[in-house]
Amino acid sequence: MINCEIIMIKRMTYRIVIVCLLLAGSVRFATGQPENRNVSGSSEKMEVDFGYAFSTPHRLTVSIPNASDKTLVDVYPDKLRLKWSYDNLLSIPAGSFCTPDPKWHVFITTELDGKVFENVTWQRGEDWLPMVETVYSEQGVTTKMQIIGAESAALVRIDMVNNDSKKHSVTINCSNDRKTTTYNPAWVQSDWDSDVLLAGMEDRADRVNLFMTGGDEQPVKDITTISQVWNLEPGEKRTGWIVRPYVAYHSQLITLRKQDWEKEFNRAKEAWYNLMEEAVKVHIPDPAVQNAFYAGLADCFIMREPVSSEYVASTPGTEKYRAANTGEASIVAIFLDQVGLHTDAAKGFQLIADMQGEDGNWNDPKGWGHYMWGMAGFKSWALMEHYRMTGDVDYLRSLYPRMLASSRWQETQRAKTRKPVDGKRTPDYGLMPRGMGDCGLWDGDDLFGVFLPHNIWAVFADSLALEAARILGKDDDIKELAQIHRTALNDLKWSLEHGAISENGYRWIPGVANKTDGSRWGALYATYPCATLPRKHELINGTISKIESFISPGGIPVNTGWLKDGLWVAIALDNLAEALLYRNEGDKAIQYLYATLNHATPLISWCEERGQEPGAADATGDLQHLWTPLSVGRFLRDALVMEDQQTLHLARGTARQWLENGQKVSALDMPTHFGPVSYELQSSKKKVTGYIDLTNNRAKEVVLHIRLPKDKDIVSVDSDVHVELDTRAQTITVKNVNKKININLTVK
């Protein structure tokens, strides 16, 4: 049996390290447009209040890390819904866009003295865990539910306390509105079990869907409902459980009732704390932002599961998109490498690395991403980042043949478009031929076309194949790959130049050359990470201006996905803020982070796309989508630590308010292309003190950004090594240092 005191001590120790303060998490919906301090140009302090959360239900999926058994938890103001499937990705062809059907569900309602509680709040349990915590409170009675996915069951722990001076009753109802399946045996015969719902149909009839323990009474209300009542004396505290076993049958119910669910509940939490202890530690003085970082990291392991005995794969969502793909999975691999989880990164990447046609086509010819010519670029980026973070030459050598074959195949495809039309060169000349756009890209009213963002990624794949060949000394391949890349890059640049849209005094990169159809997704990849064009190129400047010309009241760019007048919140960070960070525009970049967080639910979750207004009802795609929490995590890592060619930038995009008087920012043992780095900045009224530990770091140049509140400036620096202070840029540059250095800054 687990010693609960030990669990608590370990958890508290870890929480002190990462400084996760409990979020208030109150649900707020406004009928009008709330004041937004986080939009570009605002000088007020930025804060997270979830003021632009979309309408309920709000979803968080619960499970243990990397598990096939998942439970969708949907929160409404008056009820909860547990939703699940008994199927998983092991029965689906790996990489196919085919999802398990979560056809089973139960609604949970909570009553005080026979009436549904009206006062309810919800949030993530213990700040960032994949655990839903709802609190119902009225008349001095509080009922708290904590819902987590454990090893053998999804568990709902119910803690009740009566702080009133009189007796009250709390009733929990678990109901299914499908009257032809799922039944309470006691409805059939009154002396049968009344604490369990059985499948009845569409599975073994005696399969246990869900049962409940701990109540004083078990009223039988209808065929698909189980209920229990707790009668609470003044000052009394009680605990009960709702249990959804993954595999259990009616004959096991006696044993299941006696099982130590407290033990399994604690083990589930401990699994998540143990996982986070393996990752890097960051300290962000805004607890809401720090919680979002670790919540996003946890969600990478919620949306990840076995797809065969050989592979575990990432999925972009937990219901409609619960299927392995390449886009998000590649970015997950990069993020996991960035936070030090290298084994997990490589394991999750292996499936998409192996999804290649015999002809060299690396764009998932038998999977979800088929005909999307940018997928080889995403894969190549993840592969090279793993090599850069770990220095594992054998890993790079093992996958280099896939990169080489991909570039050779892409060259055969581009050859098809190197044909003048009526003796003239077209913007499609030398590009990958017609393919699938996705992400809201359209060619007129056609989902298929010659899309510039996918060509940006395809050329990026060629550049990385050439880089890998040089690293590995593949002399016989270097000349060939250099020619492929040079030709493809020149053709792409010509197309970007001649296919750009002129508007309002600037020119911007569209999805299709010379057409304004579809979304603005992917154009800024041309500067970061793909480096097709320099960061201050006219077309990059113009594309940023175009994207920022249509910003929602909550500070998010509009028309970056499928909804022309809606929001794909993830892209505010993944495309725009990352490009701004790369351009050293940290103030604008961090504002998009806060705007993104305020479009989250109090569960720190996001749907794929939604309307602009607070409480938007038009939430589309998956109710819990991976790209946004993943973008939050990756952006924060880059804001704290970011490689830029041969230079390592520290605190490049931190919020200025994070160094207000007494605040601290730090990152410990963060992997980089040059080796691990640690640093800390601690502010006081007239000083900023700290250190940079470069003991095992090979960077020849390190730039530390001192992003103070705008009414403060650095006037001098004292260090135990030579450093260069740029008072205009408010940076400190360290060159050719491989040790821990201390820094003391005077501020006025």
Beta strands 153-162 and 141-149 are antiparallel
The first and second tokens of residue 207, run together, are 């399969």
Residue 337 DSSP class: H
Handedness of CA 426, 427, 430, 432 (dihedral sign): negative
- DSSP readout, 686-698? SEEEEEEE-TT--
Q: Which residue in the block uniquely carries the two structure tokens 């550049």?
A: 463
- Compute the distance between CA of residue 425 and CA of residue 498 in angstroms, rounded to an integer: 10
Q: Given this structure, which CATH class describes domain 4-274?
A: mainly beta
> What residues does each domain of the chain span?
4-274, 282-633, 647-747
pLDDT attached to residue 661: 85
By CB atoms closer than 10 A (0-12, 13-18, 19+), residue 13 is: exposed
Comparing CA positions, the residue from 46, 44, 21 lying closest to residue 655 is 46
Q: Which residue in the block uniquely carries the two structure tokens 């993020």?
A: 335
pLDDT attached to residue 178: 81
Give the angle subtended at the CA of 155 by the CAs of 153 and 158, to the nearest 5°.
160
The first and second tokens of residue 481, run together, are 């790959």
Beta strands 701-705 and 647-650 are parallel
pLDDT attached to residue 613: 98
Instruction: Encode pLDDT of 706-727 as tens digits.
Output: 999 999 999 999 999 999 999 9
On whether the CB atoms of residues 5 and 554 are closer than 8 A, the answer is: no
- Compute the distance between CA of residue 99 and CA of residue 92 in angstroms, rounded to an integer: 8
Give the angle subtended at the CA of 643 by the CAs of 640 and 646, to the nearest 5°.
145
pLDDT attached to residue 23: 34
The CATH label, of 1.20.120, 1.10.3470, 2.60.220, 3.40.50, for the domain at 647-747 is 2.60.220
Comparing CA positions, the residue from 28, 150, 146, 140 lying closest to residue 80 is 146
Tell me the backbone φ, ψ of residue 119, rounded to 5 degrees.
-100, 110
CA-to-CA separations, 661 to 103, 640, 657, in angstroms, rounded: 53, 19, 9
Beta strands 132-138 and 168-175 are unpaired
Residue ranges of the chain with per-residue pLDDT less than 70:
1-43
The CATH label, of 1.20.120.450, 1.50.10.10, 2.60.40.1530, 3.30.930.10, for the domain at 282-633 is 1.50.10.10
CA-to-CA separations, 431 to 50, 467, 740, in angstroms, rounded: 43, 21, 48
pLDDT attached to residue 4: 35
Name the helix (H) or strand (E) containing 452.
helix 452-472
Beta strands 281-283 and 714-719 are unpaired
Residues 6+ apart with CB under 8 A from 253: 193, 196, 208, 211
